Amino acid sequence: MSTGIPAYVIAAVLGAALLHATWNALVKGRAGQGDPLLSTVLVVAGGALASGLLLPFLAAPAAASWPFIAASSLTQTVYYLLLIETYQHGDMSHAYPLMRGSAPLLVALSNGLLTGERLSGAQWLAVCLICGGVLAMLLSAPAAAQPARHQRRATVFALVTACVIALYTLIDGAGVRRSGAPAAYTMWIFLLTGAAVLAWAARGRIRALAALARARPLLLPVGGVSTLGSYVIALWAMTLAPVAAIAALRESSILFATAIAALFLREHVGRGRLLAAGLIACGAIAMRLA
């Protein structure tokens, strides 16, 4: 595999990052639009529903990839449960950048040891720029309203969650290359993970979930298709480029999320966050030129 990443792969992954930011914006919504945790469950359920509808029309993944599908589904179920715990103890503005910024660096550090896949010096620079920009988002976030002890617990959960993100990224980077069918591979993971998360999270919350689905009718279909499409593109890209590079480039979603927050959610974006977004943009450009 050549070290350079084709322009169309870069463009596709940036599109995936935009989709990722879109469904996160839908989950957050405006103040008073419901519990973000219930919103997340509806988005996951939407991805599972879309997968179930599309899978009959796709060729099945190769037999060699099914152990990876099972391992990824289990790992991503743990990820969503950890995510719920993380957001119960801290703000999204604190936890999300920490999770998304740490995970690609963990992937880059471990992927070479596990697979022998190596990044060039320029690609390492791009990875560090993107991770640095995402972590700068964390440092530029306003002080949280929660007590310090809750923020410490949120930090611990966020770092553990970052490890889980790195784990399923490595699993899927290897599994999707064995599947021969990136779309079907991804959809089976979403179907199995969605069923598990919905079964766990819906206990005692069926009426609340139904009420939220009625109040925000676009959340389940648009959020579900966005999260599914984002990961399908990312895994497809991992069949054509180094896993660590794609994992880092996908975190340019923070750049799009910042723009969406400023333009549509009317959130204040200070100079610190603009600087962090600039680092992410420079990392994306460096990845293209590497």
> Average of pLDDT values for 54-64?
95
Residue 34 within any structural domain of the chain: yes
Answer for the pair 269, 262: CB distance below 8 angstroms, yes or no.
yes
Q: If we measure between CA atoms, which residue out of 287, 209, 210, 207 comes closest to residue 245?
A: 287
Is 17 a residue whose pLDDT tops 70?
Answer: yes
Residue that wins the pLDDT comparison between 118 and 247: 247
Return the pLDDT at 221: 92
Residues in the chain: 290
Kindly report, residue by residue over 239-276, the tens digit of the pLDDT.
Answer: 988 887 888 788 777 677 767 767 776 666 677 767 77
Domain count across the chain = 1
- What does pLDDT average to over the chain? 81
Residue 59 within any structural domain of the chain: yes
Residue that wins the pLDDT comparison between 282 and 285: 282
Residue 254 within any structural domain of the chain: yes
Least confident of 32-41, 58-67, 70-79: 32-41
Least confident of 27-31, 64-68, 159-163: 27-31
Using a 10 angstrom Cβ sphere, with 0-12 exposed, 13-18 middle and 19 or more buried, the burial of residue 4 is: middle
Is 3 a residue whose pLDDT tops 60?
Answer: no
Return the pLDDT at 1: 41
Is 145 a residue whose pLDDT tops 60?
Answer: no
Q: What angle do CA 231, 165, 128 make, to 5 degrees?
A: 95
The residue range of the domain holding 256 is 7-289
Torsion angles phi and psi, residue 156, rounded to 5: -60, -50
Cα separation, 208 vs 122, whole angstroms: 49
Residue 213 within any structural domain of the chain: yes
Is 148 a residue whose pLDDT tops 60?
Answer: no
Residue 1 within any structural domain of the chain: no
Return the pLDDT at 71: 97
Cα separation, 35 vs 29, whole angstroms: 10
Return the pLDDT at 175: 94
CA dihedral 73, 76, 19, 242 (to 10 degrees): -80
Kindly report, residue by residue over 67-111, the tens digit of the pLDDT.
Answer: 999 999 999 999 888 877 776 666 555 666 677 777 777 777 776
Residue 139 within any structural domain of the chain: yes
Residue that wins the pLDDT comparison between 176 and 285: 176
Distances (CA, A) of 49 to 199, 220, 221, 257: 14, 9, 9, 25
Kindly report, residue by residue over 217-236, the tens digit of the pLDDT.
Answer: 888 999 999 999 999 999 99
Cα separation, 230 vs 234, whole angstroms: 6
Residue 98 within any structural domain of the chain: yes
Confidence of residue 203 (pLDDT cuts 50, 70, 90): confident
CA 98 to chain centre: 12
Residue that wins the pLDDT comparison between 211 and 92: 211
Residue 78 within any structural domain of the chain: yes
Residue that wins the pLDDT comparison between 189 and 104: 189
